[in-house]
Every structure is written in C-alpha cells, then in structure tokens.
Structure 1
Amino acid sequence: MARTPSAMLPLGTPLPDANLPDPNNQYWRLSESLGSKGLLVMFICNHCPFVLHIAPFLETLYDQLDELGIKTLAINSNDIKAYPADSPEKMSEFAAEYRLPFPYLFDSSQEVAKSFSAACTPDFFLFDHRGKLSYRGQLDSSRPGNEQPVTGEDLLTAAKLLSQGIQPPEVHQKPSLGCNIKWRFS
C-alpha cells in the first residue's frame, strides 16, 4: 500500500464549489452543505486499507460533528475503470456496511479532487461557516498496524475550536496519510 501524505492546502482557502452526485444520482452542492459552524469534506474510497481502518469510526465522527453544528460529506474521486471496487454501485454497499449517515459523492471527472489539492484517502478538509478552510490533515495518529486506536482526536479538537469561533492553530495540523488518489491517465 502506497503511503501518500496530504498536500496541506493553505488555510483560509475558500471552499471549492461543485455539484456532485451520490450513487443514487441525487446531486449535492458543496456550498449549500455548510452547517451553522462549518463543513467537513473528506476524500475516501471503498478499498483503501487506510480508509477501511477508520471506516467503523465515521458514523461516530459524523454524530460528534453534527452536535457541534458541522455538516459532513465524503467524496470518492478514484478512477473506477482501473479500480472498479470504487464504483458508485460499490459506494452504496460501502455506505450501507459502515452506516454512513452523510452524503458519499462521486467525482467522476476528478476535477473536485484537483480543486482541493486532495492527495490521499483519507484526506480531511474542515471549513468554517463562511466556507474558509480552517483545518486540513489527519483524523488522528492511528494507522493500519500501528496499534493506536481510532479516536478522531486531531480533527475533533479542531472542530471543537471552530465551533467556538476559534481558528485551530496551524502548528497542530499534521498531514493525513493514506493511499494516493487513483488518478486517471489518458
């Protein structure tokens, strides 16, 4: 498994807007998905060992962020011709298996991933209520095989600060680590 870190998009970057479908072909506009305190956008996929490692925690993460007034959505930008396990049909199965209570969207053009400078799965981007990037980086220090529990500590600490109107300190923002996004090559 390739170990690719986040690209660490500059803080303050405006939320890239897009209108993406979920596997049922319902469209979701990112700019209309902001909660009263913000929005978490995560890039995930169905097959990556790093995503599978945190997948059982994603429902809990959603619940905790929702209590803070922060909405959540996930985006899959992988090339499904080369990686059919990441197809929209398989996304539906993944969402059902892990009881994902948030939209799981498909970026078929990969343009949305590029607009976020997303590099890996999972990759996390937390925006404030005005759509300005406040946190990007790891969920926590847990990785497959390192025996650390998945707690969401880094992201949840930033979210709690954000919900109180405090900008999370950049010094505490560490890159996420995961499989590289599976880019389509023409």
Structure 2
Amino acid sequence: MALTESKMLSLGTTAPAFEALDTITDTTLSLNELKSEKATVIMFICNHCPYVIHVNEALVRLANDYIPKGVSFIAISSNDIEKYPVDSPDNMKAHALDEGYPFPYLYDETQDIAKAYDAACTPD
C-alpha cells in the first residue's frame, strides 16, 4: 500500500456542488439537499481500504453523536469498480447497511466529485 498524503480543501472553502447516486436509497442526491447550515462532513471512503475499515466504527459513532446536533455527514466512494469490484454500488449498499451508516453513501462513478474536492486517498 502506498502512502498518499491527504490534499483536502482548506477548511472554510466553499464546497463544490455535486450530485451522485446514494447507494443506500438508490436515489440521486445533491450537496444542496444534504448539507447543513451548521457543518457538513464530507468523507471519501471505500469498502476495501484497510484504513477506512479501521475507522468505520468511529465514523458511525461520531455521526450518531453529531447528526442530532445538526451536523451533516456524507460518505462518497470514487473508486474504479473494475479494479475494485468490492466497491460497486451494490456492495456499497450492503456494506453501509452492515456497518449501520446513518449517512448517505454516494457513488462518484466519474470521479468528478473526488477531483473537485482534491481527494487523493481513502479516508480523505
């Protein structure tokens, strides 16, 4: 596994708009629909990454603690499903349900969202 430095956007940057398939509900959702006026956490994750697997439980706990306080959480996977079939939308949905994700898990098929956010690795 190669070490890739996170290149996240600076805090306070206006979030680039996006729309993507929520694999849990099978609906297309936008940032405008999902964002919170208080704070929005956007996480680039995937099913197979050992670093994501390591923090999954903490992410769910954190989301469950802060969603009731008005903070939105959005998970996005931008992985190439030909290279990583375990990250397909069907597998994303199964994974999200197994892990008890209380937030949408969006599929960025074109990787345009990841590029707009300068996401370089998972978790980012």
| TM band (smaller chain) | over 0.9
Following the alignment from structure 1 to structure 2, what is the Cα–Cα distance between the partners of residues 57 and 12? 24
TM-score norm. by structure 1 comes to: 0.63
Pick closer, same or farther for the CA change 1:8–1:21 going to 2, 3 Å: closer
Q: Higher relative CO (CA 8 A, sep ≥ 6), structure 1 or 2?
A: 2
Give the unaligned 5+ runs of structure 2. Answer: none
Contact 2:22 2:104 in 1 (8 A): yes
- For residue 41 of structure 2, what is the amino acid of its counterpart? L
1:125-144 correspondence to structure 2 within 5 Å: none
**Displacement of 1:58:** 2.1
Please state which structure has a larger fraction of its residues in helix: 2
Matches within 5 A, 1:49-88: 49-88=50-89
Deviation at 1:35, TM superposition (A): 1.8
- C-alpha contact 1:15 1:31 (8 A) present in aligned 2: no
1:8-47 residue pairs with structure 2 within 5 A?
8-23=8-23, 24-47=25-48
1:133-176 deviations in whole A, cap 9, x for unaligned? Answer: xxxxxxxxxxxxxxxxxxxxxxxxxxxxxxxxxxxxxxxxxxxx
Once the 2 structures are TM-superposed, how far is the Cα of residue 11 of structure 1 from its aligned partner?
Answer: 3.3
Give the paired residue count.
123
* Structure 1: 5+ residue stretches without partners: 124-186
The structure 1 segments of at least 4 consecutive aligned residues displaced by more than 4 Å after TM superposition are none
TM-score where L is the length of structure 2: 0.92
